[in-house]
């Protein structure tokens, strides 16, 4: 019988792409989402993509009773936990909202897993736990963690600690914390992609929305950083590759070399600056992007990219797509949304 995987936040950006990847790999997804940061249309797009309507529960994971019912109704074999708020700036303004949702949600999931004896857990962590790297910008999993600069960062940082403590106390439990770098792109089939609510905070959705005319121009935050062209450098990874890393993580639980609590970077291993992203967008889309420099955005890390050796050796995972592929798919997604909304 196919393994049942609970996906919290399965209607979200990374969650939905992972549901598709799970189905393609023969798993049965059980989706939990309350659409507070996603859109019901995602479930429709997903259904078209996977060829059936996935099992879906519209519940808030902070509602422990409702969450327990999902575990009662379905014999869950593994959990992939995405459901969390993720806007850095918003978390500074509304810290309680972030601690409440991101930490209570996690505690409820772990409690249900404990009660129902579910022992395989994949957690969405973030490269935010590394803070601003000192001199070496390529970080590996041994690079010391630093205290985060936002409540959002603290929720990921604390979540890793909570999970580690839980793993220590439960010998049959196994967890892989995937530390995401910057996910971008959309499904190449154009049926699912990122749907930011309100004005996007992240670079690529802002670029595609500006190019399609939703904003007058992109502001490039900072031009005087000590980098190749003065703008910040990130490791942009195609969401399809990131989704695939979750499948490899679920598969790895069957492997004896996996320890009880692993942390694995998920990036491409390459850094790209904001100006390089703009140039690549113009090249790939054939569209001129209006943009101008603006002051630095407070809290921005200057330069960071992943060392991905551990993902290769432990998960047998490697990226299949380049950042230009991701830009192309994100642009197609923006264009297909424009058609739908006409
Ligand atoms: N940027 C702009 N203009 C914009 C948006 C972004 O110049 O309108 C720049 C930022 O200043 C930064 C780069 O584009 O230099 C990337 O910014 P994003 O907001 O896309 O991504 P971040 O790296 O800031 O944040 C991401 C995730 C967070 C996570 C963080 C970890 O969104 O959830 O990585 O480093 F915490």
Q: Which of 274, 275, 280 most suits a substitution to test ligand 1, by most atoms within 8 Å of the C-beta?
A: 274
The angle at the Cα of 119, spanning 109 to 113, to the nearest 5 degrees, equals: 25
In a domain, 334, yes or no: no
What is the structure's pLDDT at 255?
87
Position 226 scores a pLDDT of: 96
Confidence at residue 110, expressed as pLDDT on a 0 to 100 scale: 98
In the chain (342 residues long), the average pLDDT of successive 10-residue segments reads 94 98 98 93 94 97 98 98 93 95 98 98 96 92 92 96 98 97 96 91 96 97 97 98 98 91 98 98 97 94 97 97 98 89 68
Burial label, 311 (beta-carbon count in 10 A; 0-12, 13-18, 19+): buried
Minimum-distance ligand 1 atom for the alpha carbon of 221: 7
Q: For tokens 């005319």, what's the residue?
A: 213
In a domain, residue 296? The reply is: no
Centre of ligand 1 to C-alpha 36, Å, is: 22
If one counts every other C-beta atom within 10 angstroms of the C-beta of residue 111, the result is: 14
Q: Is the CB of 220 under 6 A from ligand 1?
A: yes
Q: Which of 234, 281, 294 to mutate to test the pocket of ligand 1 (most atoms within 8 A of CB)?
A: 234
Annotated catalytic residues are 152
pLDDT at residue 342, rounded to an integer:
65
Residue identifier of the C-alpha nearest atom 32 of ligand 1 = 202
Domain that holds residue 110: 4-185+236-267
Number of domains into which the chain is organized: 1
**pTM (2 d.p.):** 0.97
Does 254 reside within a domain? yes
Tell which residue, 228, 136, 241, 231, has the closest CA to residue 182. 241
125 lines ligand 1 (CB under 6 A): no
List of residues 6+ apart from 276 with CB closer than 8 A: 229
- Closest residue by Cα to atom 20, ligand 1, is 202
Q: Report the run of H or E that residue 338 belongs to, with start and end.
A: helix 323-341
Residue 133 included in any domain: yes
Is residue 46 assigned to a domain? Answer: yes
Ligand 1 atom at minimum distance from 206 CA: 8
Task: Look up residue 77 and give its DSSP letter.
Answer: -
Give 234's strand partners: 272
- The protein residue with its alpha carbon nearest to ligand 1, atom 10, reads 221
215 inside domain: no
- Specify the 3-state DSSP secondary structure of 334: helix
Assess contact for 11 and 35: CB atoms under 8 A.
yes
Query: Which residue, judged by its Cα, is nearest atom 16 of ligand 1?
Result: 203
Look at residue 8 and tell me if it is in a domain.
yes
**Contact partners, residue 268, CB within 8 Å, separation at least 6:** 181, 235, 236, 237, 241, 305, 306, 308, 319, 322, 323
CATH number at 82 reads: 3.40.50.720
Looking at residue 49, its pLDDT comes to 95
275 lines ligand 1 (CB under 6 A): no
How much distance in Å is there from the Cα of 202 to the middle of ligand 1?
A: 5
Q: For residue 170, what pLDDT is reported? A: 97
Domain assignment present for residue 208? The answer is no
- Reduce the DSSP state of residue 240 to 3 states and report it: helix
């Amino acid at each position: 019988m196919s393994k049942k995987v609970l996906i919290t936040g399965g209607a979200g950006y990374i969650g939905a792409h992972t549901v598709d990847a799970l189905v393609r790999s023969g798993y049965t997804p059980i989706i939990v989402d309350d659409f507070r940061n996603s859109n019901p249309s995602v479930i429709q797009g997903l259904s078209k993509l996977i060829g059936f309507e996935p099992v879906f529960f519209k519940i808030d994971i902070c509602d422990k009773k409702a969450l327990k019912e999902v575990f009662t109704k379905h014999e869950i074999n593994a959990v992939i936990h995405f459901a969390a708020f993720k806007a850095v700036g918003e978390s500074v303004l509304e810290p309680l909202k972030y601690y409440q949702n991101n930490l209570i949600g996690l505690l409820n999931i772990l409690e249900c897993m404990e009660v129902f004896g579910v022992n395989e857990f994949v957690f969405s962590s973030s490269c935010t736990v590394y803070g601003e790297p000192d001199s070496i910008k390529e970080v590996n999993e041994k690079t010391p963690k630093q205290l985060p600069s936002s409540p959002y960062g603290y929720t990921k940082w604390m979540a890793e600690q909570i999970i580690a403590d839980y793993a220590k106390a439960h010998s049959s439990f196994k967890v892989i914390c995937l530390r995401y770098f910057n996910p971008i792109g959309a499904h190449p089939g154009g049926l699912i992609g990122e749907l930011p609510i309100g004005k996007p905070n992240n670079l690529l959705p802002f670029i595609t929305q500006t190019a399609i005319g939703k904003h007058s121009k992109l502001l490039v935050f900072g031009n005087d950083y000590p980098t190749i062209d003065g703008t910040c450098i990130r490791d942009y990874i195609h969401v399809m590759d990131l989704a695939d890393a979750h499948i490899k993580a679920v598969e790895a639980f069957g492997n004896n070399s996996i320890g009880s609590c692993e942390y694995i970077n998920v990036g491409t291993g390459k850094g790209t600056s904001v100006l390089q992203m703009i140039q690549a967008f113009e090249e790939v889309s054939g569209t001129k992007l209006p943009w101008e420099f603006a002051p630095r955005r407070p809290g921005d890390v200057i330069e960071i990219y992943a060392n991905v050796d551990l993902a290769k050796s432990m998960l047998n995972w490697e990226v299949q797509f380049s950042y230009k592929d991701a830009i192309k798919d994100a642009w197609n997604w923006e264009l297909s949304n424009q058609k739908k909304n006409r």
